[in-house]
Chains A and B, each alone.
Chain A
Amino acid sequence: QKEVEQNSGPLSVPEGAIASLNCTYSDRGSQSFFWYRQYSGKSPELIMSIYSNGDKEDGRFTAQLNKASQYVSLLIRDSQPSDSATYLCAVRGGSNFGNEKLTFGTGTRLTIIP
């Protein structure tokens, strides 16, 4: 079982709709959770971090964390063509506690259809 799993996609969403990206992780002791966006040929860009159960909203983005289910998600409201990118879920802590390295999922490729 992979440590961090994401559906590789591609996920196609009409412009203006809600895009929902999901991620599960295997290490129950994980403490910190991040969503990065990576455009083709560019480096990852941090868009959300979440540390406690529940929802965290930032503009059109909402991160959701459920530690009991070992599940973290990212919702993008009012999707725009500029949101088309690969979204990487990253997890830190747990067995890596004290070690700051991130464990990344393989990413979900999102395409927003105009």
Chain B
Amino acid sequence: GAVVSQHPSRVICKSGTSVKIECRSLDFQATTMFWYRQFPKQSLMLMATSNEGSKATYEQGVEKDKFLINHASLTLSTLTVTSAHPEDSSFYICSASEGPLYNEQFFGPGTRLTVL
């Protein structure tokens, strides 16, 4: 149980295009989903927290107009990187939680984005 999927696993795009990444909880309802970014040999960096049906909460320094998050249902959240640039190239990982404080957070397999 507790499986989280992400699609696509890898994407290469040209500078200036937008990329959408999907995160799905396959066997549980995720009231909360999280989006992280990780650069090579660095720690996970939380970008935003999204709750189903409400606006995402972005961490300080993360541009909400550039990284659009939609949590439309209890099993799906999407991250859209708008007008991507080479510096946005990174490993994007989502995680999902069923909700209350003691529930674990499960990670998807990640999406590697390369912007040319």
Contacts and interface: CB of A to CB of B under 8 A. Distances in A.
Contacts of B32: 100
A97 B104 CA distance: 15
A44 interface: yes
A88 B44 contact: yes
B107 A44 contact: yes
Interface of A: 31-32, 34, 36, 41-46, 49, 51, 88, 90, 92-93, 97-102, 104-107
A43 B49 contact: no
B102 A106 contact: no
Contact of A42 (B34, B43, B109): B109
Nearest to B106: A46
Nearest to A93: B101
Nearest to B109: A43
A46 B44 contact: no
Given A43-B93, A44-B93, A102-B105, 16 more contacts: A31-B102, A42-B109, A43-B107, A43-B108, A46-B104, A46-B106, A51-B102, A88-B44, A90-B105, A92-B101, A97-B101, A98-B101, A99-B49, A100-B34, A100-B105, A107-B43
A106 B39 CA distance: 13
Interface string B87-104: 000010100010101111
